[in-house]
Amino acid sequence: MELDAKELQKEKNYLKECLSYLDQELSHMDTSMEKSFQEESEFRKYIWQNKGNMDAQELRSEMQQADMDAQLHNQQVAYYRKLYRIKDNPYFGRIDFTDEDGDQSVVYIGITHLTKEFHHYIYDWRSPIASLFYEEKLGLSSYRAPSGTVSGTLTLKRQYKIEKRKMKAVFDNNLNVTDDFLQEVLASESGEKMKNIVNTIQKEQDQIIRNTDDKHLVVQGIAGSGKTSVALHRIAYLLYRIPKLTSKNVLIFSPNNIFAEYISNVLPELGEANALETTFHDFAKEYIDEYESIESFTSFIERYYLHQIDDVSLSELKLSDDFIRVMNTYYKEIELHTFFYRSFEYDEKPLLKDELNVLLHDRYSKLPLFNRIDAIAEHICDIRNYKRGKHLKSLKKRLYENLNLKHDFKTVYTHLFKSKVFQKKFGYNLSDEVIKKFVDRKDLLFEDTLPFIYMKGLMEGFPYSSQIKQIVIDEAQDYNLLQYIILRKIFPRAAFTILGDVNQTINPVYHYDSLERLCRVLVKDYRYVELTKTYRSSPEIIEYSNRILGLRYAVSVRRENHVPVTEVKVTKAKDLKPYLEKLVSSYRKVAVITKTDDEAEDVYQSLHEDFEELRLLRDSGVQFMGNLVIVPSYLAKGLEFDAVIIYTEEIDPYQQEEKYLYYVAVTRAQHCLVLVNQQSW
C-alpha cells in the first residue's frame, strides 16, 4: 500500500534526521578512535621504557589495563565498521507495536543498532522485538524478550527501499510471500556472490535463525529454499545472542572451495567477521600424515561417473553403515586379544606381565589402545623416577614388541580387511594384492579416507577441539553417517546446524531417505525442520524439476515469468555459441553446466576464444568470478544463475540412477533454462 504525501514526507524527514546523526557518530568515532590509538601506542611505549623500574605486580597490572583498553578499542572499531556499512542505507523496515500496558514502540530495523541516549534510531534485525517484523501479521502478536514473552498489538509493518541515502520506495504490508517487494527481489538478477536476505527473511526461515532452545538443528530444505542463507544469518544471530561467542568459535563445512568463495560476503554484509571455513577434505588432511595426499569427494564423484572405480561394490561397502559396525567390532576384538604374554627386563629391572596387564585392561582401560601404551610407559617412568625424554621412546618400543603390536595405522587398516569379522559380515576374502592396491599408495582414496580416520581414532583417540562451539554443515545429504560420527567425536560439545536436501544428493553410493536419520547421531536436544518453498527458480523451471524426481510438494514462491524451459539438440560444444550469445545479451549471470569435468573442459576450449569473459570453475581454490561460467554439475551445488544451459554431447546422459545429479543442475537456474541433448522427464 502506497503512502500519502504527508506520511511519505514524515518518512523522508526521519531518514534525513537518522542520516545526519549517523554522520555525526561516524565523525565522532573517527576522531575518538584516532585519539585512542595514539594513547594506546604511547602507553605501550611507556611500559616498554619503564618496565625495568616496575615490580612484577605493577607491571602485570599495567599490562592487564593495556589489554582491556585494546579490547575496548577493537570493539569500537568493529562498531564503527558496522555503522560505516549502513551509512548509505541505514534501515529497511519498521514496525509499530503497542504492548499490553499501552506503551507504543516505533521500531526501525537495520543491519545494526544506532542509539542516541535513550532514543533508538535503528534496532538491530536480531533484537527480540525485530522478530515481529518477520514472524507476525498485524493485530494481536507477541515476541520473546530476555525478561519473558511480551504481548500486544502490531499496528504497522513497513518496508523501505533506500539507495544512496535516498528514499526510493515505501511499502505498507504484512510481508507475505506474494508481496510486491519480495517479488521484486526474487525477480532481480544474480550477483557474483551470495547476498544477505535480511530484508526478506520469511517466517519459517526466521524461526530457524532465532532458535536457541535446541542445541542441534537438522534442516531439510528443497533447492532454492534459502537454507544456506538461513545458516549464515543464524550464525550472525548466534554471534549477537550468545555472550563470548566469536566468529573464531564457529566452523562452517562447505561442499567445495567454489561454494566457500560464493558465500564469503554474507557475514561481512551483516557486520560480522567471517567464521572459520573448511571442506571435509581439507579438514581430514589435518589428521592423516600417513599419506602424501587424500582424494577429495569431487574427485571420487568424477571417478565414479567416468567408471574408473575398480570395484564399485567394495567402495560402497567401505562407505556403508554396516562397515562402521564391523570396524567397532574389529577394534573390540583387538582390545580383547591384546595382552602382555611375558615378563621382561628394562634397565636391568623386571616388568611383570600380570602388573602390565592390570595397567592395560584395568587402570587405563578407558583410554584408546595405543594411548594406553603411552600411559603405561609414562607410569613406569614416574614410579622409577626416569627422565621421560631419555626413556619414554625406548620403553614404548619395548612394550609394543612384547604385545606383538605395531604402532602403524596402515598395518591396522590392512588387517581389518583380513579379519574374520570382515569376512563373515560381507563374505569378502580379499587377496593381499587387492588390499595393497588401496592401502600401499601415496594418495589415500576417498572411500578409504573415512574408515582410515575412524580406525585411527579408535586406536589412539580422536583429537579434541574445545575452541569450536558452533558447527554448520551445508549440503549435508552428501555426507555419510561415518562423517557425522567422526565430527561428533572431535567436537563433542559443539552445537550442530545441519542443512541439506535429500533430493540434491550427488553421493553416488550413499543416500538418505530423510535427513531426520541424522538426529540419532546428535542424540538429544535436536530439532528437525523442513523447508518446502523455493524462492530461487521460476514456476516454469520448478514444474520441470519436479517431474525429474516426481515431487509434488516443492512450490515456487515466484510469479511466472513466461519463459518456457527449452530443449535443443547440438552435435558439438562449438554449436552452443548462438544460444550462449542470446542468453548473455538478455541476462547478467549465465552458466553452462556439464555432467563431468572433462565435458566442462571441452566446452571451455571450444568457446573461450568467442567469449573473453568465460570462466571454467574447478575445485582447486579457484576464485568465483565473472558472469559467464562453465561448471561441472557436482561443483554447482549451492550456486545460482539467471540463466543455465544444461549441456552434454551424449543423448540422454543422465540415467535414472543419476536423476539427483540432474536435478541439482536444473535447479541452479533462476529465470531461464535451456536443455541441450537431454531427455524429457
Is 50 exceeded by the pLDDT of residue 177? no
The whole-angstrom separation of Cα 461 and Cα 320 is: 22
Question: By the 8 A CB rule, do 333 and 459 touch?
Answer: no
What is the chain's mean pLDDT, rounded? 89
Q: What angle do CA 348, 351, 354 make, to 5 degrees?
A: 160
Is 60 exceeded by the pLDDT of residue 252? yes
pLDDT for position 295: 95
Pairing of strands 148-163, 470-473: unpaired
Question: By the 8 A CB rule, do 484 and 218 touch?
Answer: no
For residue 395, report the phi and psi dihedrals to the nearest 5 degrees: -65, -45
Q: What's the mean pLDDT in 270-282?
A: 92
Is 50 exceeded by the pLDDT of residue 102? yes
Contacts within 8 Å (CB) and 24+ apart, 414-420: 414/439, 416/326, 416/327, 416/330, 416/451, 416/455, 419/330, 419/333
pLDDT-derived band of residue 259, with 50, 70 and 90 as boundaries? confident
Q: Which residue has the higher pLDDT, 356 or 182?
A: 356
Q: What's the mean pLDDT in 294-322?
A: 92
Is 80 exceeded by the pLDDT of residue 654? no
Quick: pLDDT tens for 427-485: 989 999 999 999 999 999 999 999 999 999 999 999 988 899 999 999 999 999 999 99
Q: Which residue has the higher pLDDT, 441 or 256?
A: 441
Is 70 exceeded by the pLDDT of residue 189? no
CA neighbor of 371 nearest in space, from 457, 493, 284? 457
Quick: pLDDT tens for 617-647: 987 655 556 799 999 998 998 899 999 999 9
pLDDT for position 103: 94
The overall pTM is greater than 0.95: no
Q: What's the mean pLDDT in 497-522?
A: 90
Of 225-239, 363-377, 522-536, the one with minimum mean pLDDT is: 522-536
Residue 566's beta-bridge partner residues? 674
Q: What's the mean pLDDT in 124-129?
A: 96
For the chain, percent of residues with pLDDT exceeding 70: 92
pLDDT for position 522: 79
Quick: pLDDT tens for 578-626: 999 999 999 999 999 998 888 999 999 999 999 999 999 987 655 556 7
pLDDT-derived band of residue 195, with 50, 70 and 90 as boundaries? confident
Burial (CB count <10 Å: 0-12, 13-18, 19+), residue 433 = exposed
CA neighbor of 273 nearest in space, from 37, 24, 82, 130? 82
**Strand, helix or coil at 85?**
helix
Is 50 exceeded by the pLDDT of residue 299? yes
- H or E stretch covering 534: strand 533-534
Which segment, 182-191, 270-279, 316-325, is predicted with the most confidence on average? Answer: 316-325
Is 70 exceeded by the pLDDT of residue 199? yes
Is 90 exceeded by the pLDDT of residue 134? yes
Report how far apart the first and last C-alpha atoms of the chain are (Å, whole number). 42
Is 90 exceeded by the pLDDT of residue 219? yes
Is 90 exceeded by the pLDDT of residue 173? no
